[in-house]
Amino acid sequence: MTGGIIETVKSSRIDEIEKVETFLLHCGCLHKHRPVLAAACLRFALTVSDFGITTGRQEEKYPCAFVFNSNETRNGTFASPNYPGLYPRSTECHYFFNGQLNERVHLHFHFFDVEGVPPCEALTASDYVEFSNYMARDRKYPRYCGQQKEFDVYSDRKFFRVTFKSNDRLDATGFNASYVFLDEEENYTMKIPTTGGSARHGEASREIS
């Protein structure tokens, strides 16, 4: 049955087969000791090219990366791979926020459940979400993992990077967040976009002034 799934995916998206096979391996389709429904595997495989992430512009230079430019959209939402389902294991996804010269980005996390134990380092084999004003790691921001209440993160520069990374052990639901680009020289009120989620995901509307 697995061979048929892979051949179907090959015939439809031959250029993405390596990503598909990797995803099938992680969800258990290619593991003889972890049988799963063929239909479910195929459904996941056909969406693996965008990792189930429906916002932002996909950056082809990375296996999983999405770009959010303020000159295209000033506010919106973003989420972990396959949210609100379980995120895939052994996955690293980047979210790049690019503002104008005097802009900064404000992130609000409505829901956060990422497997791990703070401070979310390799010693605890934790999955995590990392924030940075640079492409490299930024020690100003702690890594986030575990179950967190709603929280906010602000950039110091017009560029901001969010990175989600999971290992090959356990998984969870991930996160759901909103973003808004703010001009330093303006003083106005803007509402973070709502997600339309349930109370479990927290109150989605929040005012910034």
Domain ranges of the chain: 64-183
CB atoms < 10 A from the CB of 65, how many? 20
- pLDDT at position 186: 55
- pLDDT at position 68: 98
Superfamily of domain 64-183: Spermadhesin, CUB domain (2.60.120.290)
- List, for residues 40-59, the tens digit of each pLDDT value: 454 455 455 788 888 999 99
- List, for residues 69-83, the tens digit of each pLDDT value: 999 999 999 999 999
- pLDDT at position 206: 35
| Most confident by average pLDDT, 36-40, 65-69, 121-125 | 65-69
Q: How far is CA 156 from the centre of its chain?
A: 21
The rounded distance, in Å, linking the Cα atoms of 54 and 130 is: 20
More confident residue, 34 or 165: 165
Which stretch of 3-17, 35-49, 111-125, 133-147 has the lowest confidence by average pLDDT?
3-17
